[in-house]
Structures are given as structure tokens and as C-alpha cells.
Amino acid sequence: MASSETDPPISFEIALNVADQAVFSQTARHLKNIEVAVLQGSWLGQNYDQIANAAGYAPEYIKHDVGPKLWKLLSASFGEKVSKMNLMAVLLQQAQLNNYSGLTPSHTVNDLPTPIIETPVGLVALDSPLYVERPLVEARCYEEILRPGSLIRIKAPRQMGKTSLMVRILAHAKQQLAQQNVSLVALSLQRADKAAFSDLDLFLRWFCAAITRKLQLSHRVEHYWSNTFGSKSNCTAYFEDCILPDIDGPLILALDQVDEVFLHPEIADDFFTLLRSWYEEAAYGESGNPLWQNLRLIIVHSTEVYIPLDINKSPFNVGLAVELQPFTFEQVGNLAQSYGLTLSDNQIGELMNLIAGHPYLVQQAFYYLATQTLTLEELIKTGATDASIYHHHLHRLLENLQEHSVLFTAYQQVLEASTPIELEQLAAFKLHSMGLVNLEGNQVISSCELYQQYFLGKKFVSLSDE
């Protein structure tokens, strides 16, 4: 069939090759799947709503986040301004300059440079092509963080991607609120010494001092703290008089590893009541202190809130609640492609059966497969043994269980049961925070076959007796 006048002058496969190789030469990363979807939709003349609908993403996420970032990335890679309007012209010109017009059908999008393989340790860097997007989650968080006085709560077991999501929310806010002189503070509560958790006054002094240092403000905590007022009043006044006015713009305070406070009930109730009061103060608007509308909170934790908190004073039943889930079958398949792996649906299914889409375990598997350290068959065969690529991960979990006989016994009950069972609430929450079980209402079940195989039948050995 003859081409119409509206047909693109080159195929999308060639255009994608041109764009991807330009990006790779500048950033050492390939275009992400969502970026390819936006590129293809734009190439076909679709608007953002159509692209979002076809790709299964929220329109606002495509329109205000992925799209603008993609044009900026392509502009930097080609050395000229690229937009949705001039995309076809730029890619055609670049294809001609690089003699792409003579490509044969064998030159497809699969003929791309070998992807960069990153060691899967810690949070996934902002510019990493190996970050797996949860589009609905990111879109909701990106929208919420722009709202004055907002609060976002991110909860999931360890190594599920909480901190990686947190830093992306901060990066999005920094970009979107640049004109408002936004200030960002990411504070891990693991940084506080144990002594700081022994007393509310000591903890709130550390809290204020740590934030002051992060903001590079003049340290006035000791001079400002008054013995006349209580610790919570001092902390609140310090924010009102010494932090919020000095930065003169939105302050996004991201508190990571909040679980540390759960371990100290003597300060937890007061600290979380304080955070809730700040959130409510922002909601009062002009009837309260309008400065609090500048504070936006992100709270990140692994454990369920098992300490008794007054529902009217807790920050854990207000704001936007986000609970990260394991990767889906499709997400695991897309990540495999990012690692340059070609896996069949059956192979992905085998891996999912073993590790149930656990983000860290999936990243580990693909790293070793991509570096050809072992085959998928070897990984599955040795997965639940001490010869496994997961042995450090499994040993750490075992040590944590061996430190608590009650927890160890409870988990063995879960492993020996063929159906979900009910456990004492605190034990269930702690096992869930370790990622060992999934919560199903008031019952729990082992979270994946890897843990089922490795821990079933293990004997309790008290580490304190060694």
C-alpha cells in the first residue's frame, strides 16, 4: 500500500534508535519504558490523555512529569530544543545526519548498546534506568506533595523501595516548587543516638538541631529552648520562630526510618501527637498560624503502628497513605528488559513463584543473571540454600528471628500452616515489617516460597547464649 502524505518520513523503530542512542551517549542509560511510550504516542500525533490511556498511566503524571522530563532529556542529548511539536522534524534530521535513512529491516530497536548493570544495593539512584515505576503511586504522591500542609505516609516492609520513592517525591517537589524557594530535608531517625530516645526533651532537641543543620541555618536550639514550657511547646515555637520564617518558602520534611521511634513508647506518643498537631495547624489556615501551611511531611516506616496511639492524635490516620506492594508480573518483565535480559513468560513465572516480586530480591536475581554469574535454573535450585545469592539476606533475617524466641516460634507456626493463620498482633506486625509474612485481614501467610523453603524446620538458637 502506498504511503499517505501524513505517514512519518522514517519508521518509529529508526526514530527510537536515534533517540535512545543519543540519550545513552550522554547519560549512559537507555530510555525507560514509560519514556518510549510517550515518544511513540507523540510520534503518532497523540495527545497526553491518549498516551496515558493507552499506556495505563494517570494523565497528570504523563503531562506534568514524564513528558516535560523527556523533552528536557532529549534536548540535552541532541544539543537543541526538542518538544512534542518538533519531535518528528528533529529525529528525522538526526537520522539523516547519522545515515539512519539507509537502515535495513535488521536494524531494529533490539540492536542497542549493552545496558549498564548496577549493583543492587540501597536506594535506586534518581537517574537509574533500573527504577521500577509504580505510576499510580508516584502520580498521587507528586500531586499531594504540591498541596500546602500535606502529609504523605509511605509504608512497606524492608527493601521494598520506600526510600527510593521518597527521594523521587523530593526531586519532583524541588522541580515543581523551585519558584517558591522550596527547602528539602531528608532525615533518617536512625541517625539519632540511642540516648536521644531515652527522653522526649533530648529527642526533640536533637530533632530541631538536625533539621537546623540540614537547612544550614544558625544553630539556636540551646539558646532558644525554655525551661518554662514543655518540650513539645519548645519544639513548635522553634519551628514557628526560627525555622519556618527563616527559609521563607515551603519546607518538605521527609522522615525516614520512623520505626526507630516505635521502639520507645515513652516518647512515641508525644512525638507523633506533635506531628499531628502541626498537620492540623496547617489545615486551620488563617485561623491558625499560616506558617504551618509551608510545612509538608513525608513519613516513611516499615512496621505497622503497633503502639497504642489516640486515634485523634495520631498522624497515621490522616494525609495520603501509600503502601508499596511487590512488583507485578509485568513490572518484573519490564525490569528484565532494562537489564538486557530476554526471559519467557514461563521463566518470569518461575522467578515470581520463588520470590513473589519482592523488589530487592528481583533486582538481585537480574543483576546476577545479567552479569552471567549464574543461570535462572541455578538460581532457583540454590535459592533457599546457603550457597544462594540471597544467603546474606537470609542470614540477616534468621539472626533477627534468633534474637526473639517468641517471634521465631510464631513464624514457624506460619510456615507449618497450609492456610493463613491468626497471630498475636505485635508478632504479626513485626514479621510483616521484616517482609516475612503478608497480612490478610487479621491473619498472616508466608510472603514467598523462598522464605518458606529456607526457614521451615530451622531450629531456634538463642544468640545471647552464644
How does pLDDT run along the chain (466 residues), one tens digit per residue? 333 344 556 777 778 888 888 888 888 788 887 888 888 888 888 888 888 777 667 777 788 888 889 999 999 988 888 888 888 888 888 877 766 543 433 333 344 444 556 667 678 888 888 899 998 999 999 999 999 999 999 999 888 999 999 999 999 999 999 899 999 999 999 889 989 999 999 999 999 999 999 999 988 888 888 888 889 999 999 999 999 999 989 999 999 999 889 888 889 989 999 999 999 988 876 556 788 999 999 999 987 666 566 666 777 788 899 999 999 999 999 999 888 888 999 999 999 999 999 999 999 999 999 988 889 999 999 999 988 999 989 998 998 898 888 999 999 999 999 899 999 988 898 898 889 999 888 899 999 999 999 999 888 776 654 4
Q: Supply 88's cell numbers.
A: 518528528
Query: pLDDT value at position 3?
Result: 37
Amino acid (1-letter code) at residue 88: M
Distances (CA, A) of 209 to 228, 346, 411: 20, 54, 40
Q: Residue 58 and residue 214: Cα distance in Å, rounded?
A: 34
Q: What are phi and psi of 335, to 5 degrees?
A: -65, -40
Q: Could you tell me if 11 and 43 are in contact, meaning their C-beta atoms sit under 8 angstroms apart?
A: no
Q: What is the pTM of this model?
A: 0.73
Q: Residue 382 and residue 231: Cα distance in Å, rounded?
A: 54
Q: Supply 260's cell numbers.
A: 526507630
Q: Could you tell me if 73 and 23 are in contact, meaning their C-beta atoms sit under 8 angstroms apart?
A: yes
329-354 b/e (C-beta count within 10 Å ≥ 16 → b): eebbbbbbebbbbebeeebbeebbeb
Q: Could you tell me if 427 and 413 are in contact, meaning their C-beta atoms sit under 8 angstroms apart?
A: no
Q: Residue 226 and residue 206: Cα distance in Å, rounded?
A: 15
Q: Residue 333 and residue 349: Cα distance in Å, rounded?
A: 10
The contacts of residue 341 (CB under 8 Å, 6+ apart) are 366, 369, 370
Q: Which segments of 101-255 does DSSP mark as H helices, in order?
A: 135-144, 162-176, 200-214, 221-224, 231-238, 244-247
Query: pLDDT value at position 453?
Result: 94
Q: 422 - beta bridge partners?
A: 443
